[in-house]
Amino acid sequence: MAQATEQSVEWKFHDTAIPRAKWAAITDNIQADVEQWITARAQSTLSEDATDKV
């Protein structure tokens, strides 16, 4: 994602030793992560459109 948009992306992944808790943290935060990805991608697309030559 960060390479595709050339922007840093902070994921809400919580490091934990308990696998079940790790998946719970991922599923609890996936909506916010996807929204952040969509926003970053949209901004990247807008900046690409602005620099394209016609």
Coil vs helix vs strand at 7: coil
- Measured between alpha carbons, how far is residue 2 from residues 11, 17, 18, 22, 48 in Å? 11, 26, 27, 22, 15
Over residues 43-52, the pLDDT tens digits come to: 887 766 656 5
Does the global pTM surpass 0.85? Answer: no
Q: Could you give the maximum distance between any two Cα atoms of the chain, in Å?
A: 53
> Is the dihedral angle over the CA atoms 19, 21, 25, 30 positive or is it negative?
positive
Over residues 9-24, the pLDDT tens digits come to: 565 554 555 677 778 8
> What is the rounded CA–CA span in Å between residue 39 and residue 8?
12
